[in-house]
Amino acid sequence: QIAYLNGLYIPLAEAQISPQDRGFLFGDGVYEVIPVYNKTLFYFDEHLQRLKNSLAATGIANPLSDAQWTDILNTLIEKHSWQDQFIYLQVTRGVQMQRDHMPADCLSPTIYAYTNPLKSLTDDVLAKGVKVVTLEDIRWLRCDIKAITLLPNVMLKLAAKQQGADDAILISRDGYVAEGTASNAFIVKDGKLLTPPTSAKILPGITRLVIESIAKQHHIELIEKELTRDELEQADEIWLTSSTKEALPVTSINGKPVGDGKPGALWQTLRQHYQQHKQDIIEQ
């Protein structure tokens, strides 16, 4: 496996950074996860735009041009034989020899990217779905930034596991549904698809955009509105969406079945449209 680090392509196992990197010391950095189907970057412009938004919001200078980003990621993809991959890329504010919350003036960002095989969902997950619990969202108030600082997400994932669930759906301080620990949330009620609107409470997921576009194309009504815990618990279907999982059916919430406890009918339909949409984009 080959990684890109600060201008060089090197074996992943040999990649090294300084312990004085502000990413390591402060979690001072941002990241992206980009799916690749048939060696083609999927919704790349949208991922690149979100990366630029995260960099701008945190005041980290974008170290590369769009053409350079594109070239690096495509080079990484070509260096690996997997048809379907996902790229992890991270930019931190850089290495600073004096540990100080205040960033020094002339830092050069640390740029890191590597690629992994993208596995499709297992038959078991497709047949049975996943179990979630609702947990209070203990994260910060800028969840729209894709920051590498993921300690609360890790703690929430552990808490979900301790309660016998696969993941958690987070409830914001205002009482409304936010998102999963690493995914956006959708519900189906009476044939309609609903999801919380974008705000600083959630990450504007690219998969969320993909689903929005598929819904429009296939005349599936999609409503963006704040959802209460009750609406979530009484939904006919719940999905968790992300670049590596696409749409994951949730079949149990807080120990109770969602709908009839099996992956739902609209999810099945959406999944087929999603596979077709990927195919259409690859062939463009």
Least separation in angstroms between residue 240's CB and ligand PMP is 9
Residue with Cβ nearer ligand PMP (107 or 150)? 150
* Residue list 19-38, contact with ligand PMP (CB under 6 A): 33
Residues in CB range of 220: below 8 A, 6 or more apart: 193, 214, 266, 269, 270
Phi and psi at residue 194, to the nearest 5°: -130, 145
- The token duo for 126 is 């497709």
* Residue list 200-239, contact with ligand PMP (CB under 6 A): 203, 205-208
Q: Which of 47, 93, 79 is nearest to 66 (CA)?
A: 47
Q: Which of 169, 174, 179 is nearest to 208 (CA)?
A: 179
Q: Is 160 helix (H, G, I), strand (E, B) or coil?
A: helix
- The token duo for 243 is 């670049």
Least separation in angstroms between residue 33's CB and ligand PMP is 5
Task: Give the CA distances from residue 241 to residues 21, 103, 258, in Å, rounded to whole numbers and listed in that order.
Answer: 32, 35, 17
182 binding ligand PMP? (CB under 6 A): yes
Binds ligand PMP by CB under 6 A, chosen from 92, 110, 184, 252: 184
How many CB atoms are located within 10 Å of the residue 284 CB? 5
Least separation in angstroms between residue 90's CB and ligand PMP is 12
Q: Which of 141, 241, 161, 142 is nearest to 193 (CA)?
A: 241
196 binding ligand PMP? (CB under 6 A): no
Task: Give the CA distances from residue 89 to residues 86, 148, 248, in Å, rounded to whole numbers and listed in that order.
Answer: 10, 10, 23
Least separation in angstroms between residue 203's CB and ligand PMP is 4
Spot the catalytic one: 52, 119, 131, 146. Answer: 146
Q: Let me know: does 139 contact 146? Beta carbons within 8 Å.
A: no
Q: Which of 122, 46, 42, 121 is nearest to 85 (CA)?
A: 42
Spatial separation of the C-alpha atoms in residues 188 and 234, rounded to whole Å: 10
135 binding ligand PMP? (CB under 6 A): no
Q: Let me know: does 43 contact 36? Beta carbons within 8 Å.
A: no
Residue with Cβ nearer ligand PMP (92 or 184)? 184
Size of residue set near ligand PMP by CB under 6 A: 13
Residue with Cβ nearer ligand PMP (95 or 208)? 208
Q: Between 154 and 173, how does the x/- string for binding to ligand PMP read (CB under 6 A)?
A: --------------------
Q: Which stretch binds ligand PMP (CB under 6 A): 14-22, 156-164, 198-206, 264-272?
A: 198-206
Least separation in angstroms between residue 97's CB and ligand PMP is 32
39 is catalytic: no
* Residue list 237-256, contact with ligand PMP (CB under 6 A): 241-243
Return residues touching ligand PMP (CB under 6 A).
33, 179, 182-184, 203, 205-208, 241-243
Active site members: 146
